[in-house]
Amino acid sequence: MDSRIEFLYLSEQDTIKVGVNNASECVEVCEEVFKLLAQGDYLMGGTNHNSHGIGIIFPKESEFPNMPTAGPDRRFFAMPAYLGGRFDVCGNKWYGSNAANSSKGLPRSILTVLLNDKDTGAPLCLMSANLLSAARTGAIPAVAVRRLGREDSEVCALLGCGPINKSCYRNIMTQAKTIKKVIFYDLFEDKAREMAEWAKKEYGVETEVSSDLPVLLSEADIVTVAASRIKPLFIEKKWLKKGALVLLSGPVRGDDEFWLESKIVYDHIGLHEAYVEEAVVSGDRKNYYSGVIGGPIYNLIDENKLPDLKDSVDLGHVILGAGEGRTNDEENIVFVACGMAVFDVAWGYELYRRALEKGIGQKLLLWDAPALS
């Protein structure tokens, strides 16, 4: 029996060659994943099989001189998953994050994805995953636009003008064909202006930079939020245009009406139930909730102001026709997406298969024969 094992390595440039930035195709793959989630053909971490992942959170102080200490967005996280259907593969997204990276000319997070054979555990492919993760993060709200947005949506607002919301916008534009105007908002106005210039050149749409959140929200049919985790935005329900779809790929705070008077659609109920379970185990629910995109909702559920998660709806079930999506053009919908490794595994698998077909990437040797067997 041949026990030699090689695996493929894909650099960031390799992933570009095999289409990591192909927004329309990534949206199709992500919709496929939503269906598998609703059908239950997947596994993620934790005893509940729904955990976002497991992380190393650094202490505020340490007696050990080389141990990292806490800082903005400073953490390591492992996100394992198995995805069924035609993918039928295991994988893990691994990332380190540190807001101070920008001073070194590096992105805040540095990510890789490793795919493994589901039976043997042998590595199949290790790939650079910053672009991969951004692509799937942007494709997820685009699926929500396809399934929950108004067909006559003409104005899109971006709250936060970093690379993640840029990806969200690129993906959303594959679905919202009627968009004529895009409004850009960021705490740093120069970032908003830079992205507005890019969007005007790339998509030929009318663009506007605004610092007046209530006014711009009153005009927007689609709102995509991927702003600072350190200083989340605050939104009041009365600011929203009737029928607006608000896509949360990052944390936001709002008055009670923002949550109570909008229809909330989750990315996947199981993930949010896992967050609540982990909050209970932590012994400090409110503090745990404060670091999670869905945190404000969980607080309202605990206060019996919103339905329990088990009585709520997620996008996979909407797609399968087993959950209620948009019912009229005037209801406001808030879509909450917290990120799941199954999407990274799915898009990573697509890139891996294309790389094999095109002969792209570098083969690395694990062993000719295992020294231990």
pLDDT tens-digit map of 257-271 = 999 999 999 999 999
**Whether residue 275 sits in one domain with residue 311:** yes
- How far, in Å, CA of 206 to CA of 156, rounded? 11
Across the range 94-111, mean pLDDT stands at 94
How many Cβ atoms are within 10 Å of 282's Cβ, its own excluded? 11
pLDDT at 206: 97
Gyration radius (Cα) of the chain, Å:
21
For residue 124, the SS3 value is strand
Closest CA to 36 of 88, 72, 109, 76: 88
- How far, in Å, CA of 289 to CA of 334, rounded? 18
Q: Which residues have C-beta within 8 Å of that of residue 138, sequence separation ≥ 6? A: 23, 26, 164, 166, 167, 168, 169, 170, 171, 172, 249
- How far, in Å, CA of 41 to CA of 82, rounded? 9
**Whether residue 177 sits in one domain with residue 326:** yes
Phi, psi of 171 (to 5 degrees): -75, -40
Instruction: Give percent above pLDDT 90 in the chain.
Output: 96
pLDDT at 230: 67
Residue 26 has pLDDT above 80, yes or no: yes
CB 25 within 8 A of CB 354: no
pLDDT at 227: 83
Residue 236 has pLDDT above 80, yes or no: yes
Residue 16 has pLDDT above 80, yes or no: yes
- How far, in Å, CA of 24 to CA of 8, rounded? 25
For residue 10, the SS3 value is strand
- How far, in Å, CA of 52 to CA of 81, rounded? 9
**Whether residue 309 sits in one domain with residue 181:** yes
Tokens 């200083």 locate to 231
**Whether residue 244 sits in one domain with residue 203:** yes
Across the range 347-361, mean pLDDT stands at 98
Is 42 a member of any domain?
yes
**Whether residue 240 sits in one domain with residue 129:** no
- How far, in Å, CA of 23 to CA of 145, rounded? 14
Across the range 293-313, mean pLDDT stands at 96
Q: Give per-residue burial for 315-342: e unless 16+ CB within 10 Å, then b.
A: bbbbbeeebebbeeeebbbbbbbbbbbb
- The CATH number covering residue 312 comes to 3.40.50.720
How many Cβ atoms are within 10 Å of 359's Cβ, its own excluded? 6
CB 182 within 8 A of CB 165: no
- Angle in degrees, CA 35, 37, 39, rounded to 5: 70
pLDDT tens sequence across 113-169: 999 999 999 999 999 999 999 999 999 999 999 999 999 999 999 999 999 999 999
Q: Which residues have C-beta within 8 Å of that of residue 66, sequence separation ≥ 6? A: none
pLDDT at 31: 98
Is 348 a member of any domain?
yes
**Whether residue 218 sits in one domain with residue 94:** no
Is 372 a member of any domain?
no
**Whether residue 149 sits in one domain with residue 92:** no
pLDDT tens sequence across 167-202: 999 999 999 999 999 999 999 999 999 999 999 999
3-state helix, strand, coil in the chain (%, to 5): 35, 25, 40
**Whether residue 346 sits in one domain with residue 335:** no
For the chain, the distance separating the N- and C-terminal CA atoms, rounded to the nearest angstrom, is 13
Q: How confident is the model at residue 94 (pLDDT cuts 50, 70, 90)?
A: very high
**Whether residue 148 sits in one domain with residue 119:** no
pTM, rounded to two decimals: 0.95
Is 220 a member of any domain?
yes
Is 347 a member of any domain?
yes
DSSP per-residue string spanning 44-88: EBSTTS-B--EEEE--S--SSTTS----TT-EEEEEEEEE-TTT-
Q: Which residues have C-beta within 8 Å of that of residue 264, sequence separation ≥ 6? A: 297, 306, 312, 333, 334, 336
Across the range 198-208, mean pLDDT stands at 96
**Whether residue 206 sits in one domain with residue 332:** yes
Domain range enclosing 115: 5-133+342-367
Tokens of 288: 């745990």
Is 373 a member of any domain?
no
**Whether residue 143 sits in one domain with residue 112:** no
- The CATH number covering residue 107 comes to 3.30.1780.10
**Whether residue 329 sits in one domain with residue 184:** yes
Closest CA to 139 of 318, 347, 320, 294: 347
Total count of domains within the chain: 2
Tokens of 261: 């008077």
